[in-house]
Structure 1
Amino acid sequence: MAQRLWRRMGLKPPAPAALGVLLALALLALARLPPSLDHSPHLPPASSPLSPQWEGAAPLSRGRACCERPPPPPARLRRDQPPGRGRRQQRGVVGHAPLWLSDDDLQKMRLLAGGWVVSKARIPAHGQVLRVGLRAAGDTKGDTSPADPERDCQDGQCGLIKRPSDLYEVLAFHLDRVLGLNRSLPAVARRFTSHLLPYSYTNGSLRPIIWWVPDLQHLEDANNDQNSCALGWLQYQEMLKPHGPTLATGNAPCSSIPRSEWSRLALFDFLLQVHDRLDRYCCGFQPDPSEPCVEERLHEKCRNPAELVLVHILVRRSAPSRLVFIDNAGRPHHPEEKLNFRLLQGIGSFPAAAVATLRSGRLQSLLLESLRLDRELWESQGGAEGLRPLLRTIDRRARILLQYIQEHNLTVFADSPR
């Protein structure tokens, strides 16, 4: 056969002696080859364990070159690492996150919606309000009390459970974010089952839980601890004037708070009809006899503006020039003929982004997109159809506010960063 191959190639077969020489040369070359590749110093021996980088790697896919490395396995997310803006199926917070909700918002909302209740404490003079310590839903400690609840709250792991009638605060949080104000605290609706809570909290009723801000600044005065600074109505109105106290003076109450912050607060409170901050005495409308401001005889003080004070004017120690909006339940059913325009008194301009959103005609649809994330609230209210009446009320107030801005020739100002 070898001779036939040589003839096909047009060559003369070599002599037997020449074949012998060729065979000897081939054997000599084989003897001088390096050791087998199985024992090359550049690769581990076949019997050695895989390095961590390759453990669990997927097999080579069909069509990949023989010597191409498979891609390393994806890094595993930590339990407490907030995911991106993809689909979320965790308890209480589901759906695609809209851009106006930050990663920090979403992380706090997940903690509030699904965290274990590990401690509880009453808030003095606040009735049916509990402060609870929380653990992330996947925490192996489970439903056991921590050794130091105060430290949990300082670490931002606490929430404030409020009354079922305060569910409007959840809508208020989403309104704040949709408008780009970013001054209220994350809030979700939730049903509680923890054995640490009283039965009235675990009977199946839906309650709002609001993130507990760890560094809220309070006055030392026990009778006025719901403020970061003491401010009367007349002082407030003077501060809103163009020639009023500025950040540079520092010689007036709340002087670290710029006028733009009061504009955000006034816009927000008007849409929700929150009176407790700027007009707790109901001086801007005729209250019903059942109103707390009438029952507590506060309305009578409207005759003397010097006696009027602002409440719930709060800032964080870490951000003393930014207001924090708390107790935002407002009045969803406040009649349109009694809208409190006193909340807008003295305000000369409003944040541009918020006004643009009000003018876009998309306020209701944006709120629905945002509220859809809160599954408990969404389902309890009957979805979009059940929420429409509340959203139409806010939208109607927005149109009235826009008309007010136009009639008074008010301006807008550029928004500051989050």
Structure 2
Amino acid sequence: MAQRPWRRTGMKPPAPAAVGVLLALALLALIHLPPPPEHSLFPLPASSPPAPPREAAAPLAAGQALRKRRPAPRTGPRQEQAPGRSRRRRGMEGDSAPWLSADDLQKMRLLSRGRVVSKARVPAHGQVMRVRLLAVGEAEGDADGDVSAASPGGECQDGRCGLIKRPGDLYEVLAFHLDRVLGLNRSLPAVARRFGSRLLPYSYTDGAPRPVIWWAPDLQHLEDANNDQNSCALGWLQYQEMLQPHRLVARDAPCSSIPHSEWSRLALFDFLLQVHDRLDRYCCGFQPDPSEPCVEEMLHEKCRNPAELVLVHILVRRSAPSRLVFIDNAGRPQHPEEKLNFRLLQGIESFPEAAVATLRSGRLQSLLLRSLRLDRELWDSQGGAQGLSPLLQIIDRRAQILLRHIQEHNLTVFEDSPP
């Protein structure tokens, strides 16, 4: 029979009383161990340093950069986070909202996870950067329809590109979700994202979340270099004349392919967000502050002569020339209520029924929160529901003002046609 260890080493077997004392001491030590951190399924090992306190979420405000974070000393290029490890990726997998199509979700995944493989500055657009993205696990040669960059945006004809904008333009992400919740479906998919690609300048990889907007490859632009942000040239007076009820528009007239219902969708959307750049870039519908671009660029003075006023960012896609595309949707979330621009609604006699029904339902804020929760980067960076609620309350308040405007002016609604 094999000997016990203490017999081989000459040790005496421990007494039963000693064994009991040892067990009691062990149990006492276990009782006094510190508890694991709250809400943690995997407590940190004892050697791990405590996590730093989370920085307060910066307010989401259009036209103003978010609070700058002090970047850590950079010892080398920041690496992209490994696929599947980012908290923001939890949302787009199964918690989708019914107003987001499968195509929306696919583009949102590309924008939020795609690997940056090339970049290009967008002329005359400051800090805007166009990037080509490849899905996780996709190689450059796997992209169907991949073309060379011989022409501007040529490498983006397969729909795998996005525009990275300024941190202060994060409101465009909220605008995208508002567009989908209301059933307008005219804005381009947008997400918030932090970048760490070696290809991007440090200002794009400093840790601040930026909006990334899907690049539509078939947007129709005028060949006029001074007016290339339009698909058709339209002045304010022409626009108002075109909106007159039962007025027939000649086929060769500017923007004749765009029906009245499209302008109604645009007016409703721009009023809720207070986007002036499309229908009232001269700020003729309110008294602007001296710091407004329309004042600094001396555009406001043209309000005296309506014949000089033109519409901007009136765009359609070649694949759908009768449907407007809403771009540059970073309106004015903090625009004061006493200065709301009702000129955006001028000439509009009816509005889309489904959108108006959503505004009347009293559920606009809850629907937006449900939708915005899918964008984990935006959600976390802005403090979740608590941080986003003040902005949503402003939009909801504007919605009630718009409903009152519809009632006071006996305006009607029209049934939305299938997309």
Q: What's the counterpart of residue 164 of structure 1?
A: 167
Q: Does 1:201 align with 2:204?
A: yes
Give matches, 1:129-148, under 5 Å: 129-140=128-139, 148=148
Q: Structure 2 vs 1, CA of residues 101 and 400 (structure 1 numbering), >3 Å: closer, same or farther?
A: same
CA contact (8 A) 1:131 1:159 kept: yes
Gap runs ≥5 in structure 2: 1-86
Deviation (angstroms), 1:244: 2.6
Q: What's the counterpart of residue 79 of structure 2?
A: none
Higher relative contact order (CA 8 A, sep 6+): 2
Q: Distance in 1 between matches of 2:164 and 2:209?
A: 10
CA contact (8 A) 2:236 2:306 kept: yes
Q: Distance in 2 between matches of 1:159 and 1:91?
A: 21
Q: What's the counterpart of residue 213 of structure 1?
A: 216
CA contact (8 A) 2:116 2:131 kept: yes
CA contact (8 A) 1:93 1:113 kept: no
Q: What's the counterpart of residue 98 of structure 1?
A: 97
Q: What's the counterpart of residue 342 of structure 1?
A: 343
TM-score by length of 1: 0.76
Give 1:237's aligned amino acid. Answer: Q
Q: What's the counterpart of residue 295 of structure 2?
A: 294
Cα offsets for 1:79-129 (capped at 9, x unmatched) = xxxxxxxxx984673551011000000000000000000010111100000
TM-score by length of 2: 0.76
Q: Secondary structure at the match of 2:239?
A: helix
Q: Distance in 2 between matches of 1:141 and 1:346?
A: 49
Q: What's the counterpart of residue 330 of structure 1?
A: 331
**Between Structure 1 and Structure 2, how many residues are aligned?**
327
Deviation (angstroms), 1:245: 3.5
Q: What's the counterpart of residue 225 of structure 2?
A: 222
Cα offsets for 1:319-354 (capped at 9, x unmatched) = 100000000000000000000000000000000000
Give 1:409's aligned amino acid. Answer: N
Cα offsets for 1:154-193 (capped at 9, x unmatched) = 0000000000000000000000000000000000000000
Q: What's the counterpart of residue 182 of structure 1?
A: 185
Q: Secondary structure at the match of 1:93?
A: helix
CA contact (8 A) 2:164 2:213 kept: yes
Give 1:104's aligned amino acid. Answer: D
Q: Distance in 1 between matches of 2:114 and 2:300?
A: 42
Q: RMSD of the alignment, in Å?
A: 1.8
Q: Secondary structure at the match of 1:118?
A: strand
Choose 113-122 or 146-155, whichever is displaced more: 146-155
CA contact (8 A) 1:172 1:272 kept: yes
Q: Distance in 2 between matches of 1:389 and 1:169?
A: 16
Gap runs ≥5 in structure 1: 1-87
Q: What's the counterpart of residue 191 of structure 1?
A: 194
Give 1:125's aligned amino acid. Answer: A
Q: What's the counterpart of residue 49 of structure 1?
A: none
Deviation (angstroms), 1:148: 2.9
Q: What's the counterpart of residue 118 of structure 2?
A: 119
Q: Distance in 2 between matches of 1:170 and 1:107?
A: 16
Greater gyration radius: 1
Deviation (angstroms), 1:139: 1.9
Q: Distance in 2 between matches of 1:240 and 1:140?
A: 49
CA contact (8 A) 2:91 2:373 kept: no
Q: Distance in 1 between matches of 2:139 and 2:414?
A: 49
Q: What's the counterpart of residue 240 of structure 2?
A: 237
Question: What percentage of aligned pairs have identical amino acids?
Answer: 82
Q: Distance in 2 between matches of 1:378 and 1:405?
A: 33
